[in-house]
Structure 1
Amino acid sequence: MTNTEVKFKDFIRIIGRGQRAGRTLTQSEAKQAMSMLINGEATPEQQGAFLMLLRVREETAEELAGFTEAFRGFNSESLQLLSIDLDMGCYAGKRRHLPWFLLAAMLLGQNGKRVFLHGTHEPDSKRLYLKEVLPQLGFDICESSEQARTRINSFGFAYMDLKSINPQLDRIVQLRDLFGLRSCANTLARLLNPSNATHSLQGIFHRKVDEKHQETAALLEDKNTLCFRGEGGELEFNPLRDVTFFINRGTAKSTVDIPNTLDTYVTKPKELDPLCLVSVWTGQTKDDYAEHALLGTLASMLILVDKLDWEAAYAKASRMWEARVKAWPVTLPSTKSDAVTFDTSGKHYVH
């Protein structure tokens, strides 16, 4: 099927003809189909049919690789000049615990690495997103690569919203408001690596998706990625359960089984107050769960970035935490009138 012959409905026909007559897309077909969708060569009805057919059947690694290639073509070139060490796509949101992974990112930045975080906000999912948390902690949401460069030079990390990075992909993510379901766009955002960082950390929710991420990264020939089932689907180590890290070094794939680090059962708090992140960082509050979560997350980063084994990475993470500069690096907002405490008892949607 050549570019001059193909119409978007042809791709819908390929994936929608049923179990016997239909088939999956090749990587090149997937790239072409998603490129057409991005460029407005599909009607809204065709876009919905295509995305929801994929949702029901689930995407293959080849399809995800092709879709990712299409969206990477729209990444800002200026972001790729930031010389980022670690890319972190934060798209799940939290509903049981605070985003302790943020402290791990801060600590890695405090130790000389350049960390780029990106994410979005889905009102329908009723989760706590980093975009809501950071302003309460005194950190700006960057809207340009120059703002990100300034924040990274100052603090070692920066956060940008997907809408400012790749509005084409964010538009697909926000279609959840119409569908009532997530599409593959959330997976693609995790795989996006918009800054072309040398390493990419990815957290997922469902079983077996980590394996698919690993296979997709191999097809894309991404040089250094680590994917695991994180707490609530976020890229945060859950100290209460065993987990497997799926690691890519180019086309070389490996797995590492990690045991839980905390045996004491932890009841989720009724509310999540972002300012607790500050009190744990400064040492005003002692929280075993928080420390185990951030140390495990930091250790996963060190396995990826410094190529350490788990024991060495966890030991180094512990030393870095003990040696941290405990002063909060920015001035907190002078008023709490805009502060938001997140109710964990409500209904929250899985991924």
Structure 2
Amino acid sequence: MQDPEITDFKHFIRLIGRGQRAGRTLTVQEAQQAMTMLINGQATPEQKGAFLMLLRVREETAAELAGFTLAFRAVNLPDFASLNVDLDMGCYAGKRRHLPWFLLATMVLAQSGKRILLHGTHEPNSKRLYLKEVFPQLGLSVANNVAEAKLSLDTLGFAYMDLKNINPALDDVIQLREQFGLRSCANTLARMLNPSQATCSLQGVFHRKVDEKHSQTACLLNEQNMLCFRGEGGEVEFNPERDVTLHIARQGQMESIDVSSTANNWEIKPKELVAQHLLDVWQGDTDNVYAKHAIVGTLALMLLLNSKLSWQVAYQQAEHMWQGRNKQWPVPLSANISTMPFNTQGKFYAH
């Protein structure tokens, strides 16, 4: 419950900024009220920056993330719950080392009758490849509103939307990175947003311990089925070259599952990422061992979460589904589609 007597945002800055001894963390309710005030313009630009960067330095607690998530969920644009989605995937890291092979895993799952909503954004100066850029190169449409997302879900089984068309307020906070030079908690909140209120949410992160915090936050929010893991480059993609721990939250109960790497050899990072290679692998024109491991592993995560299977059973089923997929590309391809390669060289930021 919000405290009607708190009308000045500096109250929350004072609470978290007094230092290690005098300062404290926010409760779920306090965090929700603070972020609601920030969203509603009840904080000056200076207060907004101070609040977000104090949290960035100290790191947010699960209770704070839960409160912030509730605040942003309250301002999602309307009608997303009508999409009847089975799996929500926040794709906010972008790719740098490999193509987004998780897209092909999504397509296989969609062929089985599941409905998947992907959402993301494009961070300024991140030098990463985002789904928003990949989709047009594969003849796929980016949905700009709920009606277009529904059409894509009905015809393909999956849809992608940019965060600015789902929750402009949250996207505005993400874009502040250009001014701060640092990330805020907004990227974490976007992953947790689940705007369609899907029964399952799959989340990928980069940094250690953040996956555990996602699980703790999901428990506080009483999420039905949430799985968070350290994905390739921080994205929702299984990295077959590394062991990983899966953190699962189901209606207040947490579970962790350790999964071993599935690839025997390390893949050398290519100098360029070409979206056409996704199409080639899907149609079986190219045999890419790394891609197969990444796709099957990601699909296994989806099945483990959605169907509550063991890892071993989920992986076997994923292999069978990948081998038995319909290899015809689901949309017509125009000869005029641009396939600009993405340069993987140079400095980039971890997401």
TM-score class, shorter: over 0.9
Q: Which moved more, 1:111-120 or 1:262-271?
A: 262-271
Runs of 4+ in structure 1 displaced over 6 angstroms? Answer: none
What secondary structure does 2:153 align onto?
helix
Q: What does residue 323 of structure 1 align with?
A: 324
CA contact (8 A) 2:124 2:175 kept: no
Q: What does residue 74 of structure 1 align with?
A: 75
State the distance in 1 between where 2:6 and 2:59 align. 27
State the distance in 1 between where 2:8 and 2:124 align. 34
Q: 2:292 aligned with 1:287, yes or no?
A: no
Matched residue type, 2:249? N
Matched residue type, 1:106? M
Q: After superposition, what is the alpha-carbon deviation per residue over 1:60-117, rounded to whole angstroms, capped at 9, x for unaligned? A: 0000000000000012331101110000000000000000000001110011000000
State the distance in 1 between where 2:326 and 2:226 align. 29
Gaps of 5+ in 1: none
Aligned length: 350
Q: CA deviation at 1:7?
A: 1.4
Q: What does residue 140 of structure 1 align with?
A: 141
Q: What does residue 240 of structure 1 align with?
A: 241
What are the residue-to-residue correspondences of 1:1-351 with 2, within 5 Å? 2-336=3-337, 338-351=338-351
State the distance in 2 between where 1:46 and 1:334 align. 51
State the distance in 1 between where 2:66 and 2:106 align. 27
CA contact (8 A) 1:299 1:310 kept: yes
Q: CA deviation at 1:339?
A: 2.5
Matched residue type, 1:346? G
What secondary structure does 2:247 align onto?
strand
State the distance in 2 between where 1:252 and 1:22 align. 30
State the distance in 1 between where 2:208 and 2:6 align. 39
State the distance in 2 between where 1:20 and 1:94 align. 40
CA contact (8 A) 2:263 2:293 kept: yes
State the distance in 2 between where 1:313 and 1:126 align. 34
Matched residue type, 1:281? W
Q: After superposition, what is the alpha-carbon deviation per residue over 1:185-237, rounded to whole angstroms, capped at 9, x for unaligned? A: 00000000000000000000000000000000000000100000000000100
CA contact (8 A) 2:225 2:249 kept: yes
State the distance in 1 between where 2:6 and 2:116 align. 43
Q: CA deviation at 1:124?
A: 1.0
State the distance in 1 between where 2:44 and 2:276 align. 45
What secondary structure does 1:247 align onto?
strand
Work out the percentage of aligned pairs sharing the same amino acid.
Answer: 62
CA contact (8 A) 1:94 1:232 kept: yes
State the distance in 2 between where 1:265 and 1:49 align. 42
State the distance in 1 between where 2:6 and 2:185 align. 26
CA contact (8 A) 1:128 1:342 kept: yes
Matched residue type, 1:222? E
CA shift in 2, pair 1:249/1:5, >3 Å? closer
Q: Which moved more, 1:150-159 or 1:338-347?
A: 338-347
State the distance in 2 between where 1:50 and 1:77 align. 28
CA contact (8 A) 1:136 1:333 kept: no
CA contact (8 A) 1:30 1:66 kept: yes
Matched residue type, 1:92? A
What secondary structure does 1:21 align onto?
coil
Gaps of 5+ in 2: none
State the distance in 2 between where 1:348 and 1:327 align. 35
What secondary structure does 1:245 align onto?
strand
